A and B are shown apart, each in its own frame.
Chain A
């Protein structure tokens, strides 16, 4: 059972060990080789589960984390999570191997590998989590690691822009998803995903059903770059190419698809779910493939193609969800087959797109450019890269003998079935679905051909490039060749993948579908509609490719500044402006004003609450007799307080302030609170020392120039605060609202073995608070250090605006 926890936590563990490895320079240079075993070990570990999962077994483990809040580390292994986990680790192996050669050793390798491990661990966390909240935490962690990786070359303006954009959009979706999770929790009363699936009927009857769907899909759509949230993905291409291949094509962007797949048993069958996913998916498919053609940067082209392929997979899940619709009695398995196709295409997409990204990375690495207009005739110089690119692109275009052909045909089958659907009286709309899919596939064909023929054939464009055009080191070629081999192998033996990996995954989306009900993948269906569609795509696509200049006229209809990017940019600029306007109104830079805000807020809110809850109680019964010492101390503190106000020099003020602190310590002594007295004494000492240090920086001591001899406003505020505080102190003492919890600590000796009750509260009963306080203290310390030592003007010359 431990192996799954190992799978999730090993990357995090190794990431923290990387920092320790850094002491030696040599290790730093070859860091990648130390990281490489992590995905390999995990991949082997997970392969060990394949056989058991194929026979229908699922593994679920519970590890109680915070029992009081029912937070558990629940893991759940079934076909679906295993499929994703194998992709994450498998592609992870190749990507890390590729990165070893791709990144030069003088770059910040430690950052790179730590981030990538962080990502791998959190991605595995997403797919293995069976608890909504832990899933959410891992979900946001992938957003954060993606942000860090996109901003890897943070000196570039584009990187910073892209990183911020991806973070804003995906975290926005993440918040929506969190809201959906909380709604699910209030409706079903559980965070356990499997139990939520069991309680699906509760959700369906609830009035929040549609809001839950909308919010959940917002999370999935932003993460999986669905229209109109796709705008972050092309900008994310500022990341190093291995990262683009890994996060922004093979794994992270598929988290949204995972979410949809995971929740299909809950929401599937609802028409809102079907329409939202299918329509958005098809829209993304069409728009992504259309926009891809107009790109000249190869990486941007691949980014839009990823967007469109994700849309394809998404729409298949939408179609697949129909099989759970109560009215689909005739042939529900036609629609489960759509999910089968979706998962199949998901794997295929990872293989062919991964290999394409890596080839383009090679071109970029060798030539220093990836602009289609500057490339050409590379076939003679880089024959291996050409072969890989050919395999990848043809598979993406949906041509045999590559795996993309099989899943594309299955996609057509699914959309054709939906078109025949006549149970919702939406025939007019559903007929459009195959047409949209077909047009998008033509575009896909065109841009796939652009990658192969424009970059590799034609005249060699002689431009000054960074390097000589030749094949890179073998290590850099192995990963793309491996993926290309898979592209071909999966075409010839699709059912090995189908039987062992995909069918268990389908059965976790549809628990009551057995393996036999899913058709095997076949290569030849006869001359049916699907094949004719493919033939049509090849013919029209070739014509369109020949005359692709004509398309430019269409592009004029969609000018750059009329895009969702502009909407995003304007929104960011406007909210920035608004925030600035509001903030600058009250952040005056005067400490005096800030104190007024703090004190007024405290006094008004607390006293209002006190009276609203009728908690005020000022009776003075049963208190300790006030001795002469108490009087003396209290009077001396009052005198000291008044003296500060009229002090002439700053030193006097600081020393008197220190005196008040010591006097309060004396109060603690009289009240027999030695721990508090000790703490107060030392804090007072250290603060006074700190004050003396800061002396140097403080401006000349000037008594505030008062317009009137007496500031009424300040007096009112101070009286208000004083009264509130006294009221609160007395009311707390009389505990009218809550019963005293001190009985809870009476057995401290037996429970914790400690006799000092203050200490047992700090370190045992309320250890969680102490832990967080320690972390806050630490963050404050780091904050001071960075503010003073690394102020913005130092090192700013490295940044490019």
Chain B
């Protein structure tokens, strides 16, 4: 029996972008509102999972040529590097810093090293979740 996936595929194409936007929104709002690196990463991962369910692995591979296991390694590296970064400035390991900055269009923006840390968390989460799902499904 051949399964017709047209509806799922067409919807996914649009929904994925909504999910990706949501992921970015959640990621950046994390410091002051619900969200953050872990949640952002998970939402991002769920976008990839949706793509994988709707399309086959080869298509997704061709469209998104990212090695997810390396991505997760990069994430773990960034997390540790963010900690060591504080040491280089003479602060204790993992001490986070923040300051406010006035940017055109955005108004006063708070810039913080937490964001770097969160990027690491998000990348690891995406990388690990997709790696696990890919390696299990590829083994079929």
Question: Is B truly associated with A?
Answer: yes
Asked if residues A678 and B35 are in contact (CB atoms below 8 Å), the reply is: yes
CA distance A603 to B38 in the complex (A): 30
Q: Does B5 sit within 8 A of A, measured CB to CB? A: no
Asked if residues A781 and B93 are in contact (CB atoms below 8 Å), the reply is: no
CB nearest to B45 among chain A residues: A686
Q: Which residues does chain B contribute within 8 Å of A774, judged by CB atoms? A: 75-76, 79, 120-121, 124-125
Q: Which residues does chain B contribute within 8 Å of A714, judged by CB atoms? A: none
Q: Which residues does chain A contribute within 8 Å of B4, judged by CB atoms? A: none
Q: Does A789 sit within 8 A of B, measured CB to CB? A: yes
Q: Which residues does chain B contribute within 8 Å of A686, judged by CB atoms? A: 42, 45-46, 49, 129
Asked if residues A755 and B133 are in contact (CB atoms below 8 Å), the reply is: no
Q: Does B72 sit within 8 A of A, measured CB to CB? A: yes
Q: Which residues does chain A contribute within 8 Å of B20, judged by CB atoms? A: none
Q: Which residues does chain B contribute within 8 Å of A771, judged by CB atoms? A: 79-80, 83, 94
Which of A674, A679, A753, A760 touches B110 (beta carbons < 8 Å)?
A753
Asked if residues A781 and B132 are in contact (CB atoms below 8 Å), the reply is: yes
CA distance A508 to B87 in the complex (A): 30
CA distance A763 to B80 in the complex (A): 12
Which of A65, A674, A679, A762 touches B93 (beta carbons < 8 Å)?
A65
* Minimal beta-carbon separation of A438 from chain B (angstroms): 54
* Contact residues of B: prevailing secondary structure: helix
Selecting from A300-308, A353-361, A687-695, A730-738, the interface stretch reads A687-695
CA distance A75 to B72 in the complex (A): 34
Which of B34, B94, B128, B137 touches A778 (beta carbons < 8 Å)?
B128
Q: Does B7 sit within 8 A of A, measured CB to CB? A: no
* Contact code string B70-99 (vs A, CB < 8 Å = 1, else 0): 001101100110010001000011101010
Q: Which residues does chain B contribute within 8 Å of A777, judged by CB atoms? A: 72, 124-125, 128
CA distance A693 to B79 in the complex (A): 30
CA distance A749 to B87 in the complex (A): 23
- Chain A, interface size category, equals 35 or more
Q: Which residues does chain A contribute within 8 Å of B42, judged by CB atoms? A: 679, 682-683, 686
* Contact code string A501-539 (vs B, CB < 8 Å = 1, else 0): 000000000000000000000000000000000000000
* Minimal beta-carbon separation of A729 from chain B (angstroms): 24
Asked if residues A789 and B135 are in contact (CB atoms below 8 Å), the reply is: yes
Which of A753, A755, A762 touches B36 (beta carbons < 8 Å)?
A762
Which of B32, B69, B79, B96 touches A775 (beta carbons < 8 Å)?
B79
Asked if residues A770 and B121 are in contact (CB atoms below 8 Å), the reply is: yes
* Minimal beta-carbon separation of B107 from chain A (angstroms): 16
Asked if residues A66 and B114 are in contact (CB atoms below 8 Å), the reply is: no
The interface on chain B, measured as residues whose beta carbon lies within 8 A of the other chain's beta carbons, has a size of 53
Asked if residues B135 and A763 are in contact (CB atoms below 8 Å), the reply is: no
Choose among A67, A682, A755 the residue with the greatest number of B CB atoms under 10 Å from its CB.
A682
Q: Does A594 sit within 8 A of B, measured CB to CB? A: no
Q: Does A785 sit within 8 A of B, measured CB to CB? A: yes
CA distance A771 to B95 in the complex (A): 12
Q: Which residues does chain B contribute within 8 Å of A792, judged by CB atoms? A: none
* Minimal beta-carbon separation of A583 from chain B (angstroms): 26
CA distance A678 to B80 in the complex (A): 26
Asked if residues B132 and A784 are in contact (CB atoms below 8 Å), the reply is: yes
CA distance A760 to B100 in the complex (A): 17
Q: Which residues does chain B contribute within 8 Å of A789, judged by CB atoms? A: 135, 139
Q: Which residues does chain B contribute within 8 Å of A775, judged by CB atoms? A: 76, 79-80
Asked if residues B30 and A756 are in contact (CB atoms below 8 Å), the reply is: yes
CB nearest to A779 among chain B residues: B76
Q: Which residues does chain A contribute within 8 Å of B45, judged by CB atoms? A: 686
* Contact code string A762-789 (vs B, CB < 8 Å = 1, else 0): 1110011011001101101110110011
Q: A690-B136, A693-B133, A785-B135 are in contact. Are A762 and B38 (CB under 8 A)?
A: yes
Asked if residues A689 and B133 are in contact (CB atoms below 8 Å), the reply is: yes
CA distance A64 to B128 in the complex (A): 33
* Minimal beta-carbon separation of A542 from chain B (angstroms): 60
CA distance A782 to B69 in the complex (A): 7
Q: Which residues does chain A contribute within 8 Å of B129, judged by CB atoms? A: 686, 781
Q: Does B53 sit within 8 A of A, measured CB to CB? A: yes
Which of A678, A685, A788 touches B135 (beta carbons < 8 Å)?
A788
* Minimal beta-carbon separation of B129 from chain A (angstroms): 6
Q: Which residues does chain B contribute within 8 Å of A694, judged by CB atoms? A: 136
CA distance A645 to B100 in the complex (A): 55
CA distance A753 to B93 in the complex (A): 18
Q: Which residues does chain B contribute within 8 Å of A679, judged by CB atoms? A: 38-39, 42
Asked if residues B46 and A753 are in contact (CB atoms below 8 Å), the reply is: no
Q: Does A722 sit within 8 A of B, measured CB to CB? A: no
* Minimal beta-carbon separation of A695 from chain B (angstroms): 10
Q: Which residues does chain A contribute within 8 Å of B73, judged by CB atoms? A: 778, 782
CA distance A764 to B127 in the complex (A): 23
The residues in B between 31 and 53 inclusive whose CB is less than 8 angstroms from any CB of A are: 31-39, 42-43, 45-46, 49, 53
The residues in A between 49 and 98 inclusive whose CB is less than 8 angstroms from any CB of B are: 63-67
Q: Does A552 sit within 8 A of B, measured CB to CB? A: no
Which of B33, B132, B140 touches A755 (beta carbons < 8 Å)?
B33
Choose among B37, B80, B127, B132 the residue with the greatest number of A CB atoms under 10 Å from its CB.
B132
Q: Does A652 sit within 8 A of B, measured CB to CB? A: no
Which of A66, A675, A693, A785 touches B92 (beta carbons < 8 Å)?
A66
CA distance A788 to B94 in the complex (A): 34
CA distance A779 to B105 in the complex (A): 41
Q: Which residues does chain B contribute within 8 Å of A678, judged by CB atoms? A: 26, 34-35, 39
Asked if residues B75 and A778 are in contact (CB atoms below 8 Å), the reply is: yes
Q: Which residues does chain B contribute within 8 Å of A754, judged by CB atoms? A: 31-32, 98, 112, 114
Q: Does B9 sit within 8 A of A, measured CB to CB? A: no
Asked if residues A781 and B72 are in contact (CB atoms below 8 Å), the reply is: yes
CA distance A66 to B94 in the complex (A): 9
* Minimal beta-carbon separation of B89 from chain A (angstroms): 12
Asked if residues A689 and B53 are in contact (CB atoms below 8 Å), the reply is: yes
CA distance A686 to B42 in the complex (A): 8
The residues in A between 736 and 763 inclusive whose CB is less than 8 angstroms from any CB of B are: 752-756, 758-760, 762-763
Q: Which residues does chain A contribute within 8 Å of B98, judged by CB atoms? A: 752-754
Q: Does A696 sit within 8 A of B, measured CB to CB? A: yes
Asked if residues A756 and B117 are in contact (CB atoms below 8 Å), the reply is: no
Choose among A64, A67, A774, A788 the residue with the greatest number of B CB atoms under 10 Å from its CB.
A774
CB nearest to B29 among chain A residues: A756
* Contact code string B54-81 (vs A, CB < 8 Å = 1, else 0): 0000000000000001001101100110
Q: A689-B49, A764-B114, A768-B94 are in contact. Are A682 and B75 (CB under 8 A)?
A: no
CB nearest to B49 among chain A residues: A689
CA distance A128 to B35 in the complex (A): 44
* Contact code string A171-183 (vs B, CB < 8 Å = 1, else 0): 0000000000000
Q: A682-B43, A694-B136 are in contact. Are A778 and B124 (CB under 8 A)?
A: yes
CA distance A168 to B19 in the complex (A): 50
CA distance A678 to B124 in the complex (A): 18
Asked if residues A778 and B76 are in contact (CB atoms below 8 Å), the reply is: yes
CB nearest to B135 among chain A residues: A788
CA distance A607 to B4 in the complex (A): 54
Asked if residues B30 and A781 are in contact (CB atoms below 8 Å), the reply is: no
Which of B112, B128, B132, B135 touches A753 (beta carbons < 8 Å)?
B112
CA distance A697 to B139 in the complex (A): 10
A-B contact pairs, 16 of them (CB 8 A): A65-B87, A675-B36, A678-B35, A686-B45, A689-B53, A694-B136, A752-B98, A754-B98, A755-B33, A756-B31, A763-B36, A767-B96, A770-B79, A777-B72, A777-B125, A789-B139
Closest CB pairs A-B (n = 4)? A781-B128, A753-B98, A674-B34, A755-B32
- Interface residues of A, Cβ cutoff 8 Å to B: 63-67, 674-675, 678-679, 682-683, 685-686, 689-690, 693-694, 696-697, 752-756, 758-760, 762-764, 767-768, 770-771, 774-775, 777-778, 780-782, 784-785, 788-789
